[in-house]
Homo-oligomer: A and B are copies of this chain.
Amino acid sequence: MAGPLRPSTSAVRGALYLVPATLDFGVADSSPLVDVLPARTLQVAAQLSHWICENAKSTRAFLKRVHELYPLAVTLQEQDIVELPHAVHKKGDHSGNFDARSLLHQALQGHNIGLISEAGMPAVADPGSSVVHAAHTLGLTVVPLVGPVSLLLALAASGLNGQNFAFVGYLPQDPAQRSQRIRELETLALKTGQTQIFIETPYRNAAMLESLLQSLKPTTRLAISSGLTLPDAHVRSDSVSTWRQHPTRLDKHLPAVFAIGA
């Protein structure tokens, strides 16, 4: 029996599961999976045998941790793990230029496929949207599973407006351009009430904080969360003037989420 040549809603198709990962990637003290992943997410992960990921090595490490709680249906050695091309990592996955349909051919043979990123929810602040897009094009069922999303945890913990907010990714690295962008985001936040959320590579956390304290108005609120869901989680939300009076030193190894608002 040959597989269908064109998309249909045939029952033999596999589904695409979006599998969230823990937020402890690269952090020494890994926290238990059950702290952040519901039983169903772990059970589905243990049943899957086909994966699309950013990094096969960390996907195997994740599956090894899952196996300690829910035995894998297929051994680690026999898992079919495909990495996304480097070109679509980080900043390139929403341009619409990458056709990910070929990565999903196993779904057309009836295999369920897991999409996983290095931390948190795939396709949110991380690559993966091209794969989800391709799944819809092929008529596959897409099932997002529950797990930690650092920027949403940070937003909830910030005390800033969570009924109107934007996540804008990374800001420019050049100090002058970064300052200008910070002021643009502040204007938007103060004018529309829309909380503006962004991230930075951990080793630039201190430079980002310095830029923020120099560029923002004293009355603007600034919230910074780092290490959420980990033992050394930290959340601080204060006016810029209070931040200036009592500075905090940010850990240069822990991913942080920054948010500004009225």
A residues bordering B, Cβ < 8 Å?
A: 18, 32, 34-40, 90-91, 93-94, 96, 121-126, 128-130, 132-136, 141-144, 146-149, 152-169, 193-194, 228-229, 233, 235-238, 262
Tell me the complex Cα distance, A53–B111, Å.
43
**Contact with A156, one of B18, B90, B130, B236 (Cβ below 8 angstroms):** B18
A32–B94 Cα distance when bound, in Å, is 34
Please name the 9 residue pairs, one residue from A and one from B, whose CB atoms are nearest each other, closest first.
A133-B159, A94-B161, A132-B159, A166-B166, A34-B39, A35-B40, A144-B153, A124-B162, A136-B237
Interface centre among A34, A122, A152, A194 (most CB of B within 10 A): A152
Given A40-B34, A94-B164, A146-B147: A135 and B159 interface contact (C-beta under 8 Å):
yes
Given A193-B94, A238-B136: A126 in contact with B162 (beta carbons within 8 A) = yes
Check B144–A228 contact: CB distance below 8 A: yes
Known contacts A159-B129, A166-B194; decide if A229 and B123 are in contact (CB<8 Å). no
A244 to B173, CA, bound (A): 43
Most buried by B among A132, A169, A194, A237: A132
Contacts of A161 in B (CB 8 A): 94, 129
Structural contact, B159 and A136, CB atoms closer than 8 A: yes
Give 26 pairs: A residue, B residue, CB < 8 Å, sorted on A.
A35-B39, A37-B38, A38-B38, A96-B262, A121-B152, A122-B156, A123-B155, A123-B156, A123-B159, A124-B155, A124-B162, A126-B162, A128-B162, A132-B156, A132-B157, A133-B159, A142-B157, A142-B159, A142-B235, A142-B237, A144-B235, A146-B147, A146-B153, A164-B168, A165-B166, A166-B194
Chain B nearest Cβ from A194, distance in angstroms: 7
Whole-angstrom distance between the Cβ of A16 and the nearest chain B Cβ: 9
Other-chain residue from B35, B93, B142 in contact with A146 (beta carbon distance below 8 A): B35
A229 and B125 alpha carbons, distance in the complex (Å): 21
CA distance A217 to B47 in the complex (A): 41
Q: Which residue of B lies closest to A95 (CB)?
A: B193
Please indicate the chain B residues that have their CB under 8 angstroms from the CB of A163 in the complex: 90-91, 93-94, 125-126, 129, 167, 169
Residues of B within 8 Å of A154, CB to CB, are 144
Q: How far is the CA of A88 from the CA of B237 in the complex (A)?
A: 20
Q: How far is the CB of A32 from chain B (nearest CB, A)?
A: 8
A168 smallest CB distance to B (angstroms): 6
CA distance A132 to B159 in the complex (A): 5
